Amino acid sequence: MSSDHLSTTFAALADPTRRAILARLILGEASVTELAEPFAMSLPAVSKHLKVLEHAGLIARSREAQWRPCRLEAGPLKDAADWLEHYRRFWEQSLDRLAAYLPELQRKEKTHGRKK
């Protein structure tokens, strides 16, 4: 089910270590040891995070090389971005409202300034 798929993706992204692992994989494939390096974490703790990411389809582990490198799989991230896209007009409206209000604020500021 597409909703469960999205829930799994968002749950996997709801952790700073897992997001940092994905950010590292932007640079290219990496082994579990390499991925664990920047974190003050045991290998099993990192492996647990990798399992969550793998289950969510956000990473894949090569079965060919002995060191089984992890690589980024961006499909679920696209689905998450597509879902968020429906809300874009809301955050753009907020910025538009601010942009529309700004000249008025500046005018008030100037009028206030002249009165002093």
Whole-number Å distance between alpha carbons of 84 and 94: 16
Residue 35 in tokens:
């991925």
> How far, rounded to the nearest angstrom, does the alpha carbon of residue 38 sit from its chain's CA centroid?
18
By CB under 8 A, residue 30 contacts its own copies:
no
Assign 30 to helix, strand or coil: strand
In angstroms, give the least distance from the CB of 30 to its own copies: 15
Residue 46 in tokens:
């990192």
Whole-number Å distance between alpha carbons of 97 and 27: 38
Which lies closer to its own copies via its Cβ, residue 11 or residue 33?
11
Q: Which of 43, 45, 81, 98 binds its own copies (CB under 8 A)?
A: 81
By CB under 8 A, residue 19 contacts its own copies:
yes
By CB under 8 A, residue 39 contacts its own copies:
no
Q: Which of 6, 32, 41, 60 binds its own copies (CB under 8 A)?
A: 6
- Ramachandran quadrant class, 92 (left: phi over 0; alpha: psi -120 to 50; beta: rest): alpha
By CB under 8 A, residue 87 contacts its own copies:
yes
Whole-number Å distance between alpha carbons of 36 and 50: 10
In angstroms, give the least distance from the CB of 16 to its own copies: 4
Q: Which residues bind its own copies (CB under 8 A)?
A: 3-4, 6-11, 13-16, 19, 22-23, 26, 72, 74-75, 77-78, 80-81, 83-88, 90-91, 93-94
